[in-house]
């Protein structure tokens, strides 16, 4: 966290959910729920639990002081428990943190932080998907140059492009929704020995109170929940990065098929008054680029020793929070970019036309082969490679300025003997050669609408 840089690198609603106050609250929520769950299980009187819970809600804790004292034991949970115990006081003090260990506090807090961060992130991610779906529908017949290796290839529609974005966003959302963060409670070595036979009951009650999953056994050093969440976030960032870079490329001065139109001065340059930078897409990409290293950090510290790791556990805290923060910020910036996005169908068509029809040369090749594959008596069949080479020769001459491609093809002995100039001209029209672009885009939108409907119903929301 940095006040100076977070305007760019940690924007949006996730940031406050992963800051110090959010962690402190989550740790106190754990202690509070643990006390109540222990009382549920009959371990001690309800009054003690209530007193602990009230203190967790109301008492003030000095974050900087807790942090400073964390150095002595190696984690901030230990000083928090000491402080909380002192604040609770009286008989109830003996039941603070009862049966738990520092890692129980921090691991459960991490899961709560994750749940709350994801809850803040999902509306932004859904908004991105809705915007992509809207582009997919609005531009279902907006012809655009398809580009492979950044070279114009065959035509696509901008609707199909947006449908691809949508598919990635929905896949990312589904992976995040599949997360089932679980409570952590095992005591010093995962046996909950100090709770006697009550361990499982307390775990169940704790999970219910915190609305987290109940694990089969403590997972102090079985970190698949952490790496699975990390992977889902990393995947979301990969999707955001792909869309953001596409926007940056389409917004290039020389391409200019889209641009971000932001409020006031946003996107302006300090030295160049004429520039309109795709700031939101750039920032989205900058945030999303944090993910591979952060996921690698979490995977690289996934092997935890025995009943508590000597370093690998502590090493998780920073990348775990950073990954939530960066992903939240990346998604929020992408939403901003998509909200600002202006699409220029005229420029898309104009860019497509600069190639002089060469783009659809493949179509002529295919037609030549298909025609020759017919039973047409006099004309000998032509193989795919042969057709390909003939067309390629004409294209090279057209690109070299030797004339219009239709004329050159019509004059070619192999091509002209099989196809009329008019047929060649039709074949070279991009709008007539979009294959299943519309069908594919519709499918992605339909899946999105169906998933959105499910979500609405599950939440009991209206439309």
Q: Is 241 in the site for its own copies (CB under 8 A)?
A: yes
Sorted by sequence, the CB contacts under 8 Å of residue 289 that are 6+ apart come out as 237, 241
Tell me, yes or no, if 147 is annotated catalytic. Answer: no
**Please, what is the minimum distance in Å from the beta carbon of residue 462 to its own copies?**
27
**Residue 322 burial (CB < 10 Å; 0-12/13-18/19+)?**
buried
Q: How far apart are CA 257 and CA 350, in angstroms?
A: 10
Q: Is 119 in the site for its own copies (CB under 8 A)?
A: no
**Neighbouring-strand partners of residue 145:** 155
Q: Is 425 in the site for its own copies (CB under 8 A)?
A: no
**Please, what is the minimum distance in Å from the beta carbon of residue 307 to its own copies?**
4
Q: Give SS3 for 375.
A: coil
Tell me, yes or no, if 140 is annotated catalytic. Answer: no
Nearest CA-CA partner of 79 in 65, 93, 94, 98: 65
Q: Is 300 in the site for its own copies (CB under 8 A)?
A: yes
Q: Which stretch binds its own copies (CB under 8 A): 125-133, 212-220, 410-418, 449-457?
A: 212-220
Q: Which of 147, 349, 423, 452 binds its own copies (CB under 8 A)?
A: 147
Of 51, 259, 308, 335, which one is the catalytic site residue?
308
Nearest CA-CA partner of 455 in 210, 177, 182, 237: 177
Of 111 and 160, CB closest to its own copies: 160
Q: Is 122 in the site for its own copies (CB under 8 A)?
A: no
Q: Which of 33, 52, 77, 131 binds its own copies (CB under 8 A)?
A: 77
Residues 33-62 that bind its own copies (CB under 8 A): 44
Of 109 and 127, CB closest to its own copies: 109
Of 21, 224, 269, 420, which one is the catalytic site residue?
269
Of 410 and 461, CB closest to its own copies: 410
Give the number of residues written for the chain.
Answer: 463
Q: Is 210 in the site for its own copies (CB under 8 A)?
A: no
**Up-side HSE of residue 91: CA atoms within 13 Å toward CB?**
7
Contact 360, 433 (CB under 8 A): yes
Of 370 and 461, CB closest to its own copies: 370
Binding to its own copies by CB under 8 A, coded x per residue (else -) over 361-400, reads: xxx-xx--x--xx-------x-xxx--xx-xx--xx--x-
Q: How far apart are CA 220 and CA 249, in angstroms?
A: 45
Contact 405, 398 (CB under 8 A): yes
Quick one: DSSP state of residue 341? E
Q: Is 146 in the site for its own copies (CB under 8 A)?
A: yes
Residues noted as catalytic: 269, 308
């Amino acid at each position: 966290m940095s006040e100076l840089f977070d305007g760019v690198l940690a924007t949006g609603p996730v940031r406050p959910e992963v800051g110090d106050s959010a962690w402190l609250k989550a740790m106190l929520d754990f202690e509070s729920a643990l006390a109540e769950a222990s009382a549920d299980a009959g371990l001690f009187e309800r009054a003690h639990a209530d007193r602990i819970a009230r203190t967790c809600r109301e008492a003030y804790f000095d974050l900087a002081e807790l942090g400073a004292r964390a150095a002595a034991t190696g984690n901030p949970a230990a000083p928090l428990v000491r402080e909380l115990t002192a604040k609770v006081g009286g008989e109830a003090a003996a039941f603070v943190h009862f049966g738990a260990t520092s890692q129980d506090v921090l691991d459960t807090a991490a899961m709560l932080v994750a749940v709350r961060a994801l809850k803040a992130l999902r509306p932004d991610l859904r908004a991105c998907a809705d915007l992509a779906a809207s582009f997919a529908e609005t531009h279902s017949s907006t012809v655009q140059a398809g580009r492979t290796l950044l070279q114009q290839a065959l035509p696509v529609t901008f609707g199909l492009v947006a449908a691809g974005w949508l598919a990635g966003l929905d896949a990312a959302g589904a992976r995040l929704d599949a997360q089932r963060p679980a409570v952590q409670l095992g005591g010093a070595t995962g046996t909950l020995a100090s709770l006697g036979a009550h361990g499982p009951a307390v775990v169940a009650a704790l999970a219910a109170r915190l609305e987290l999953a109940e694990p089969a056994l403590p997972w102090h050093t079985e970190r698949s929940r952490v790496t699975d969440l990390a992977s889902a976030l990393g995947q979301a960032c990969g999707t955001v990065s792909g869309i953001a870079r596409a926007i940056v490329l389409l917004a290039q001065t020389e391409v200019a098929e889209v641009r971000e139109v932001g409020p006031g001065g946003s996107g302006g340059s300090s030295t160049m008054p004429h520039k309109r930078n795709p700031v939101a897409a750039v920032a989205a990409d900058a945030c999303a680029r944090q993910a591979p290293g952060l996921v690698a950090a979490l995977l690289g510290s996934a092997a935890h020793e025995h009943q508590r790791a000597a370093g690998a556990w502590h090493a998780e805290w920073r990348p775990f929070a950073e990954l939530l923060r960066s992903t939240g910020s990346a998604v929020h910036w992408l939403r901003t970019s998509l909200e600002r996005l202006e699409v220029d169908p005229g420029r898309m068509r104009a860019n497509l036309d600069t190639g002089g029809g060469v783009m659809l040369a493949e179509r002529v090749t295919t037609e030549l082969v298909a025609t020759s594959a017919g039973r047409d008596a006099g004309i000998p069949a032509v193989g795919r490679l042969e057709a390909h080479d003939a067309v390629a020769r004409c294209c090279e001459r057209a690109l070299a300025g030797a004339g219009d491609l239709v004329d050159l093809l019509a004059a070619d002995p192999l091509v002209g003997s099989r196809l009329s100039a008019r047929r060649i001209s039709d074949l070279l029209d991009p709008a007539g050669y979009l294959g299943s672009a519309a069908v594919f885009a519709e499918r992605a939108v339909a899946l999105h609408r169906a998933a959105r409907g499910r979500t609405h119903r599950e939440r009991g929301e209206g439309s």
